[in-house]
Amino acid sequence: MTLLEIRGLKRGFGSKTFNTRLEVLKGVNLKIKQGELVALMGPSGCGKSTLLNIIGGLLRGDSGEISITHGENDYKYGTINPSKVVDVRRNGVGWIFQDFHLLEQLTAQDNVALALEIKGIGKKEADRKAREALIKVGLKDRIDFVAGQLSGGQQQRVAVARAIAGSRPLLLADEPTGNLDVKSGEDILALFKELCTDPMNPISILMVTHDPMLATKADRMLLMKDGITAASNIKDAWGVIE
């Protein structure tokens, strides 16, 4: 079942008049199935974050279409102004960043619950869902720890819990292991796999990474080059970092 479909997505920056125009995405076509873990690679500045930002409803494309289909929800956007795609951000897509973006003075529980309350979920329900998500990412014994006192790997797990707590079907991870040691990075990948293969509620993950070893653990690798994404294998992936 296709969860995310992108057709002919283009996006550029700058002005033609002033000769500063840069076409970054030149017609991206991409499908991700429910339960798929997809790694996106490509040299710095090729447009990976731009693509994620558009999928996440933070930036609009110049042309093209995006659809996310999940249960009764069907989001169609791509060129719509970000102020009009609130639904995608609230219920469609969750984010994981390289530097976690947690509130370090708050507990793991409060970091996750706060994100749910912002979505409009009541405090009691938010607390319950936060707990459930933290248990799911393997942090049962760290629920009431202050986030800033957790290890990097644990902080990233809190961020994963926050991203999945609202039952969002798609997770976008922009270099999620960039600040982690090798072992913690591998653990995060293992967690991603678990979440994608959850028999009850499999999510899909699109992950940007510069690490070919992690990329090979995904179901599929994509290489972004010349403004489009194409299927890739491990040999191409090593070429990216050489």
Ligand X SMILES: Nc1ncnc2c1ncn2[C@@H]1O[C@H](COP(=O)(O)OP(=O)(O)O)[C@@H](O)[C@H]1O
- Distance separating alpha carbons of residues 14 and 145, to the nearest angstrom: 45
Min separation Cβ 119 and ligand X, Å: 26
Per-residue mark of binding to Mg ion, 37-56 (x: CB under 5 A): ------------x-------
By CB under 6 A, the residues from 47 to 106 that bind ligand X are 47-50
Specify the residue, 112 or 208, whose C-beta has the smaller distance to Mg ion.
208
Choosing from 45, 122, 148, 239, the residue that interacts with ligand X (CB under 6 A) is: 45
Q: Which residues pair with 208 in a beta bridge?
A: 40, 174
| Nearest one of 79, 64, 88, 76 to 172, comparing CA atoms | 88
**In 85-225, alpha helices (H):** 86-87, 108-118, 123-136, 152-164, 182-196, 212-215
Considering only 1-9, 44-52, 81-89, 193-201, which stretch makes contact with ligand X by CB under 6 A?
A: 44-52
Q: Which whole-number Å values give the CA distances from 104 to 91, 92, 136, in the listed order?
A: 24, 26, 21
Specify the residue, 3 or 55, whose C-beta has the smaller distance to ligand X.
55
Min separation Cβ 25 and ligand X, Å: 8
- Distance separating alpha carbons of residues 71 and 3, to the nearest angstrom: 10
Min separation Cβ 46 and Mg ion, Å: 9
CA 68 to chain centre: 14
Considering only 28-36, 41-49, 91-99, 150-158, which stretch makes contact with ligand X by CB under 6 A?
A: 41-49
Verify binding: residue 13, ligand X, rule CB under 6 A. Answer: yes
Considering only 40-48, 115-123, 132-140, 193-201, which stretch makes contact with ligand X by CB under 6 A?
A: 40-48
| Residue 234 contacts which entry, ligand X, Mg ion, none (Cβ below 5-8 A, type-dependent) | none
| Nearest one of 196, 114, 218 to 158, comparing CA atoms | 114
Min separation Cβ 12 and Mg ion, Å: 16
- Under a CB-based contact definition with an 8 Å cutoff, are residues 107 and 147 in contact? yes
Q: Which whole-number Å values give the CA distances from 41 to 88, 128, 212, 228, in the listed order?
A: 24, 36, 8, 12
Which spans of this chain sit near Mg ion (rule: CB under 5 A)? 49
Which spans of this chain sit near ligand X (rule: CB under 6 A)? 13, 22, 24, 42, 44-50
